Amino acid sequence: MDFSLGEDRQMLVDTLGRFLAGNFDWKTRETVIETAEGWSRPVWAQLAKLGVIGALFDEASGGFGGSAFDIGVVFAEVGKALAVGPFLGTLLAGRALAATGETALLEQAIAGEVILSAALDSDAAQGVADGEGWALTGTQPVVPFAASADRIVVAARTGEGPSLFLIEKGAPGIEIRDYPLIDGGAAGELMLDGAAATLLGQAGEASAIIEEAVAAGLVALCWEAVAIMDSLKVQTLEYLRTRKQFGIAIGKFQALQHRMATLALEIEQARSSAINAADRFAKGRLEREKAVSAAKFTIGRVGSLAAEEAIQMHGGIGMTWELPLSHYAKRLVMIGHQLGDEDMHLERFIALGQDALATAS
């Protein structure tokens, strides 16, 4: 059993951490999130050059990593720096492209030349064959950095069942209502009205591919969340040690000490859940899905607790835009809303358990 990252992965972490600390500091972030696109293309280009995007994919797909732990450590650094950018969309779309053999496009994305996004709710759009291609109709909600994406992988239902498609920026029949997000960055409603699309893989065969891509996304979000919790904990402890009321540091108040002890304990549990999700990712479907749902449930539950406690213990100052803490708290709570929330994943965990029983008997 080995809980160390290993040399290569540790190097990736160090490189990425140093880069973000130097090139995506708090001031940069504040500027970037106020821009129209809500992210920084130069920073992204440099990340691509550093191999960070490639770390999300395996060598067969043109990347240099691609294991769940690789994904985890990259997103942990993203969380630590509260970096904004098309990380999640690239991961989700890229996994789908890799699974359907579209490595040429993926390689361009890994090189930073093409920006990807993904809209993977197959109930939100329908696809019909249209000559040699396909036409998609429907609305995909909150597609990450939709307006910035050159290509978007879109799930849609066809006569054959859930299918995956690729659409291209500016193609007719595509409208994007874009907006900033409360936790930084941007997204958009992707409104499709007979939009021209290319089929990825086989029609009707997308369910397993989508599930695997989403599982990778869940691992990513969980590791990002744990890094944010760590940051909230460190910031709050620092505040508790220095802020004085009634003549002493408020960290000396036992009621707060015990709450912080509980929070620290819960964060370790959340970390374990994220490690479990990454570890089970390469196992069979049921084990993988139970672990990612367990992790998403855990980081949802602990995430709200951490965000709320961190703000509460800071008092008023914890509610200000000026303090980075409040942005960490917002991002953490909003991670809870991505790819299924705490409740949904608890229900899913229960259902998967019942599936397992049914299979066993």
Of the listed pieces 11-19, 95-103, 146-154, 345-353, which binds another protein according to CB under 8 A? 345-353
Window 66-95: residues binding another protein (CB under 8 A): 69
Instruction: Out of 52, 232, 275, 332, name the contact with another protein by CB under 8 A.
Output: 275
d(CA 129, CA 107): 28
The option from a second copy, another protein, none interacting with 91 (CB < 5 to 8 A, set by class) reads: none
Two tokens at 260? 């912080």
CB burial string 240-271: b at 16+ within 10 A, e below = beeeeeeeeebbeeeebeeebeebeebbeebb
- Binding flag, residue 2, another protein (CB under 8 A): yes
Shorter beta-carbon distance to another protein: residue 151 or 301: 301
Dihedral (CA of 273, 277, 278, 279) sign: positive
β-pairing, 161-168 with 244-245?
unpaired
- Distance, in Å, from the CA atom of 115 to the CA atom of 112, rounded to the nearest integer, reads 7
The piece of 50-58, 110-118, 160-168, 316-324 that touches another protein (CB under 8 A) is 316-324
Give me the least distance between CB of 251 and a second copy, in Å please: 12
Nearest by Cα to 122 from 159, 155, 167: 155
Give which of a second copy, another protein, none residue 297 binds (C-beta under 5 to 8 Å, depending on kind). Answer: another protein
For the stretch 175-211, what's the b/e string if a residue is b when 16 or more beta carbons lie within 10 angstroms of its beta carbon?
ebebeebebbbbbbbbbbeebbbebbbebeebeebbb
Q: Is 41 exposed, middle or buried (0-12, 13-18, 19+ CB in 10 A)?
A: middle
- Which residue's CB is nearer to a second copy, number 171 or number 248? 248
Q: Which of residues 225-254 bind another protein (CB under 8 A)?
A: 237, 240-241, 244-247, 251-252
Nearer Cβ to a second copy (60/261) = 261
Among 35, 202, 242, 269, binds another protein (CB under 8 A): 269
Please say whether the beta carbons of 59 and 87 come within 8 A. no
Residue 269 contact, options another protein, a second copy, none, Cβ 5-8 Å cut-off depending on partner type: another protein
Alpha carbon distance 239, 81 (integer Å): 19
58 binds another protein (CB under 8 A): no
- 153-182 mask for a second copy (x: CB under 8 A)? ------------------------------
Pairwise CA distance, residues 241 & 250, whole Å: 7
Between 49 and 285, CB nearer to another protein: 285
Does position 64 interact with another protein (CB under 8 A)? The reply is no
Residue 142 touching another protein (CB under 8 A) = yes
Minimum CB distance to another protein smaller for 76 or for 199:
76
Q: Which of 268, 285, 355, 356 binds another protein (CB under 8 A)?
A: 268
The CB-of-124 to another protein minimum distance in angstroms stands at 10
Find where tokens 């098309």 sit. Answer: 86
Q: Which is nearer to a second copy, 25 or 343 (by Cβ)?
A: 343
The pair of structure tokens assigned to 179 is 């907006």
- Residues numbered 246 to 265 that lie near a second copy (CB under 8 A) are 253-255, 257-258
Distance CA 184, CA 158 (A): 34
**What is the nearest approach in angstroms of a second copy to the Cβ of residue 49?**
51
User: Least distance (Å) from a second copy to the CB of residue 258?
Assistant: 4
Residue 132 touches which of another protein, a second copy, none (Cβ within 5-8 Å per kind): none
Separation of alpha carbons 50 and 48, rounded Å: 5
From 176, 182, 179, select the one nearest 149 (Cα to Cα): 176
Amino acid sitting at position 86: P
Chain positions contacting a second copy, by CB under 8 A: 253-255, 257-258
